A and B are shown apart, each in its own frame.
Chain A
Amino acid sequence: MANRPQPSFPEPDTQHFWDGCKAGELRYQTDSDGNVVFYPRGHSTVTGDRELSWNVSSGLGTVYTYSVVRQNRMPGFQELGAYAVAYIDLDEGFRMMSTVVGVDNPVTDIHIGQRVKVEFEEQSGEDAYPIPVFRPV
């Protein structure tokens, strides 16, 4: 496909997450009480505390829900044909929007409850950030 839209910087909340993608790591935060914070932020969404730790996920998760987009008028996607958008529940307890790749037919081959693992899809262009996507395991 054409390059996926890249994250834009400067954006201080998500910079470290995307640096992780370049390092092949799916990173997430926890606060000092152990609460998982995701999407990345500068504060704990449970306590407001700004003391957060970064962790590396195993990349294993489960499809919580998905849709196969048949019509998207945004450049880069409109030529693509049917593709999946999904929420993935990672085993460490965070939910992220992503896609499921590596299936013959996204309409019939993706299921809620399906086990998936992250991989980092290389994008063309100098210094492009790889995009975390998920493949059935």
Chain B
Amino acid sequence: MAQERLAAIAGIHEYPLRVAPGVSSMQIKADSMKRALDDAGLDWGDVDGLYDALDGEGGGGLGLAAYLGIKPRLLDTTQVGGSSYEFHASHALRDIAAGRCNVAVTTYGSTAASMRVPIGTGGMGRGGASWQQNMEAPYGGTLISNYAMVAHRHMYEYGTTTEQLAQISVATRKHAMRNPEAVKAMTDLQFVKVDEITVEDVLESRIIADPLHLLECCMISDGGGAAVFVSPEIARDIKKKPVWIIGAGEATKYRENDGDITTSAGAQSAPAAYGQAGVTPDEIDIAMIYDSFSITVAVMLEDLGFCAKGEVGQFIEDGHLAFDQPGLTLNTDGGGLSSNHPGMRGLFLLLESVRQLRGESNSQVDGAKLAVAHGNGGLLGGTHTGGTVILAAD
């Protein structure tokens, strides 16, 4: 392949616990940074770039560097929701290629489960006066209802069915059951059934916001992790094989008077990422897609070019998604649906992509060479971002 090799992911860590009482988000971030550096064979003092998504009590790049005790020469506090980590990878590619830093870290820590944060159902109408709050708060929309409105419109326009969407949950759970940390997560979070599930299980679970059922919604967990981005020179000497960041794209979308709610910002970010990487969707082995809800994945499979708009139902019925099926493989760590969702899942999309391209996944796809990590931040159907990152094996 002729792609440029300008920046790589050299080390990763995923915090193993999904219920971590007595631990702060900042401790998760620092612990994860240390372990990700260990994974790469790099030292604390090597870090000269810091990306942060304003999570935890850290205050972004302003406060996190002080907490960690480092003085990076590049600070970037990009917070665009759950896709922030795809944006960080995108910026790391840009910044490392420009010589602004050589060893950069992004970290994530959250205690959303221990703090009982009702992310999906807590209502959106909090906070002070703003032009958008004033127009939307009176109606009691929840985070989930935004996604559910996308699902209804997708069903109306294209005939997509709940049974088709449920297959996303089924395939993801299959992968989760092969991931010991995901099994422990579902156990610790007291899932009713810690086992593989069927389409019927999904349809029989209660509806949270029509047409989305409980088993189409991601969990709320504690957790976090870190990734280390390095220059090609550093990448030559790390402990494991580097995974190259070969393309990235960023975009935003929001409610528009004549907007198509079934198309996400991914339709803009993905072509940019593929273009920079010089690859096409049919070359991708692994799709790590932010599965906040089943519909999120369905929309992204289309917007990332794996099938045409409106055809995802048939694409799913044709038998993709699971690691032991031919064709594209989805969310091999068990996803937000069944492994890990502390609020901003974007980091884990990068981490599992790296595992696949190193050959380390619990649901390994033989010979995986190319992965796409696509994060959706904010509210699908409302204001959101799309961050697409194309990753290549060494």
Contact = CB atoms under 8 A, between A and B. Distances in A.
Contacts of B151: 67
Interface residues of A, number: 47
A15 to B, nearest CB: 9
Nearest to A18: B134
Contacts of A67: 144-145, 148-149, 151-152, 209-212
Leading 5 A-B pairs by shortest Cβ distance: A74-B123, A8-B129, A67-B148, A7-B134, A65-B153
Interface string A90-113: 000111111100000001000011
B115 interface: no
Interface string A110-134: 0011000000000000000001000
A71 B121 contact: yes
A78 to B, nearest CB: 8
Contacts of B148: 67
A11 B149 CA distance: 28
B140 A39 contact: no
Given A7-B137, A7-B138, A97-B141, A70 B129 contact: no
Contacts of B207: 68, 70
Interface string A1-19: 0001111111101100110
B209 A68 contact: yes
Contacts of A74: 122-123, 125-126, 140, 142
A99 B138 CA distance: 9
Given A14-B131, A99-B140, 15 more contacts: A5-B137, A7-B138, A11-B134, A65-B156, A65-B261, A67-B144, A67-B210, A68-B209, A68-B210, A71-B142, A71-B144, A73-B118, A74-B125, A87-B255, A87-B261
Interface string B232-263: 00000000000000000000000111110100
A93 B258 contact: yes
A98 B152 CA distance: 16
**Which of A5, A8, A39, A98 has the most chain B CB within a 10 Å cutoff?**
A5
| A interface, over-half SS | loop
A39 B156 CA distance: 25
Interface of B: 118, 121-123, 125-126, 128-142, 144-145, 148-153, 156, 206-212, 255-259, 261, 381
A70 B144 CA distance: 10
Contact of A69 (B131, B133, B209, B381): B209
Given A68-B210, A71-B208, A39 B152 contact: no
A41 interface: yes
A68 B207 CA distance: 9
A71 B261 contact: no
Given A72-B142, A99-B139, A77 B129 contact: no
Contacts of B126: 74
A66 B149 contact: yes
Interface in A36-77: 36, 38-41, 64-74, 76-77
A80 B138 CA distance: 14
A92 to B, nearest CB: 10
Contacts of A131: 138
Given A11-B134, A74-B123, A74-B125, A69 B140 contact: yes
A65 B152 contact: yes
Contact of A8 (B133, B156, B256): B133
Given A65-B153, A67-B152, A5 B138 contact: yes
Contact of B149 (A65, A72, A83, A94): A65
Nearest to A38: B257
A90 to B, nearest CB: 9
A41 B131 contact: yes
Contacts of A94: 257
Contacts of A99: 139-140
B120 to A, nearest CB: 8
A73 B153 CA distance: 25
Nearest to A111: B156
Contact of B135 (A6, A73, A96): A96
A77 B130 contact: no
A99 B145 CA distance: 12
